[in-house]
Amino acid sequence: MIGRWLYSAAWYVAAPLIVLRLLWRARKQPEYLHHLGERIGLHRLKAPARLMWVHAVSVGETRAAQPLVRALLDRYPQHSLLLTQMTPTGRATAHELFGADPRVCIAYLPYDTPGSVRRFLRHFRPAFGVLMETEVWPNLLRGARREAVPMLLANARLSARSARGYARLGGFARAVFGDLAACGAQTEADAVRLRSMGASPVTVTGNLKFEISPPAAQRSAGAAFRAAIGTRPVVVASNTRPGEEGPLLDAYARHASPDVLLILVPRHPQRFDEIAQLVEQRGLSLARRSSGRMPDADTRVWLGDSMGEMFAYYASADVAIVGGSWAPLGGHNLIEACAVGVPALVGPHTFNFAQAAADAIDAGAAIRCADLDAAVRVAVDLLKDAARRSAIGAAGQAFSEHHKGALAATLGLIETLAPHQ
């Protein structure tokens, strides 16, 4: 097919630019230059004889895959599991969650060229593969089909905008989605769009992100944070992205009294120093989690420059402002805040979590605000209204519990792909 040939050719033509991009990103995050051979399918990791495979591109998808990975290891005790990512932060998250488990192998998924994919699949020879959310790679799916590796797109979501983009590719897009053995869609709307792209069969399984429960260790850490903070009101701004921190800090300085502590947790660790500078430029007193110093009575902003402690930050807070939704970036997971019982404030751009955000708002578990100035004002009002804050938090926990079930449904789909494993 001419479309597939052009797609593959574009990868090879872009190879020098890809190398330059890795070098550019390595300026702030040297890990981008680690394990380079894996990017082209040259894996030194020894492949276990019986292997399952889950691909989760970065941090959010890796965390969403956590209950599925645990369940697969329990259900198939004779198998090991390969967990792949595309980003260093995703890989670091995988090591944080599963690095101590000898049955879990962690590696990069190679770039989507025919040769890289072929080397990867023939090296590991997985019994089946699970791609999380939106990871539809044409050469990977065609290569897996040729190697008789059934592929499931799990926790799948496809926005209307993405569906329109795929539709412009015509028969090529339909062939790509047709290479999937099955799809587990988050919502009926996602399922309709996936079917229109040629995916079959498509089952609505729900959202795996509802399956994550706050770990006991992080609840304990959150309680310790709160004890150290004392009685001060606390707002956490989680998973913030470029362009959000500045307006957030300005709004906080305008509307929040000095006794309100802001816990600021950027999405990407390579930006921690940059965000610290933004805080200091505004004359706000700063403490950093990485220093080991807890915020004192004079600290205005506590920078959450650590990995894997998001639940602990939520557990120590009174209100959460969820980042990624104030610029047109699609938003980040508000379910974690709901599960802890913290009111979640989101912005106008939640298309990555459209159904979850709409349902949470309808359930009284979250509030949508027009911009960050409005969000800070709503947060300050909630800090003064314990009854309303408690009601929203309780609604969040009920909302989180009500939507569980995706894990069992996803495992059922996997059973149809690998019934005799």
Q: What is the pLDDT of residues 237-262, one digit of tens each?
A: 999 999 999 999 999 999 999 999 99
> What pLDDT score was predicted for residue 343?
97
Average pLDDT over every residue of 269-274: 92
Residues 335 and 356 sit within 8 Å (Cβ to Cβ): yes
Whether residue 354 has pLDDT greater than 90: no
Q: Which two tokens stand for residue 287?
A: 């403490």
CB proximity list for 339: less than 8 A, separation 6 or greater: 212, 213, 214, 396, 397, 400
CB proximity list for 201: less than 8 A, separation 6 or greater: 182, 183
Of residues 61, 135, 244, 309, which has the active-site annotation? 61
Q: Which two tokens stand for residue 331?
A: 């938003």
Overall pTM surpassing 0.85 (yes/no)? no
Q: Which two tokens stand for residue 213?
A: 């429960």
> What pLDDT score was predicted for residue 234?
98
Cα(254)–Cα(235) distance, integer angstroms = 15
Average the pLDDT over each of 188-192, 266-270, 271-275, 373-377 and give the range with the smallest value: 266-270
Query: pLDDT-derived band of residue 355, with 50, 70 and 90 as boundaries?
Result: confident
Whether residue 1 has pLDDT greater than 80: no
Whether residue 308 has pLDDT greater than 90: no
Residue-wise pLDDT tens digits, 193-216? 999 999 999 999 999 989 988 888
Residues 188 and 419 sit within 8 Å (Cβ to Cβ): no
224 burial level (CB within 10 Å; 0-12, 13-18, 19+) = middle
Whether residue 400 has pLDDT greater than 80: yes
Q: Which of 214, 212, 195 is nearest to 203 (CA)?
A: 195
Residue reference for tokens 């940059």: 274
Q: Which residue has the higher pLDDT, 278 or 45?
A: 278
> What pLDDT score was predicted for residue 419?
58
Average pLDDT over every residue of 401-415: 94
Cα(28)–Cα(290) distance, integer angstroms = 17
Strand arrangement of the beta sheet that strand 344-346 belongs to:
286-288, 301-303, 261-266, 234-240, 319-322, 344-346, 366-368
Cα(179)–Cα(138) distance, integer angstroms = 8
> What pLDDT score was predicted for residue 59?
87
61 is catalytic: yes
Domains of the chain from N-terminus onward: 2-206+405-417 (3.40.50.11720), 216-402 (3.40.50.2000)
Average the pLDDT over each of 14-28, 218-232, 269-283 and give the range with the smallest value: 14-28
> What pLDDT score was predicted for residue 26?
87
The mean pLDDT value of the chain amounts to 94
Q: Which of 76, 13, 86, 14 is nearest to 50 (CA)?
A: 76
Average pLDDT over every residue of 332-351: 94
Whether residue 384 has pLDDT greater than 70: yes
3-state secondary structure the chain: CHHHHHHHHHHHHHHHHHHHHHHHHHCCCHHHHCCHHHHHCCCCCCCCCCEEEEECCCHHHHHHHHHHHHHHHHHCCCCEEEEEECCHHHHHHHHHHHCCCCCEEEEECCCCCHHHHHHHHHHHCCCCEEEECCCCCHHHHHHHHHCCCCEEEEEECCCHHHHHHHHCCCHHHHHHHHCCCEEEECCHHHHHHHHHCCCCCEEECCCHHHHCCCCHHHHHHHHHHHHHHCCCCEEEEEEECCCCHHHHHHHHHHHCCCCCEEEEEECCHHHHHHHHHHHHHCCCCEEEHHHCCCCCCCCCEEECCCCCCHHHHHHCCCEEEECCCCCCCCCCCCHHHHHHCCCEEECCCCHHHHHHHHHHHHCCCEEECCCHHHHHHHHHHHHCCHHHHHHHHHHHHHHHHHCCCHHHHHHHHHHHHCCCC
> What pLDDT score was predicted for residue 60?
83
Q: Which residue has the higher pLDDT, 390 or 421?
A: 390
> What pLDDT score was predicted for residue 3?
83
Q: Which two tokens stand for residue 92?
A: 């670091």
Average pLDDT over every residue of 52-81: 93
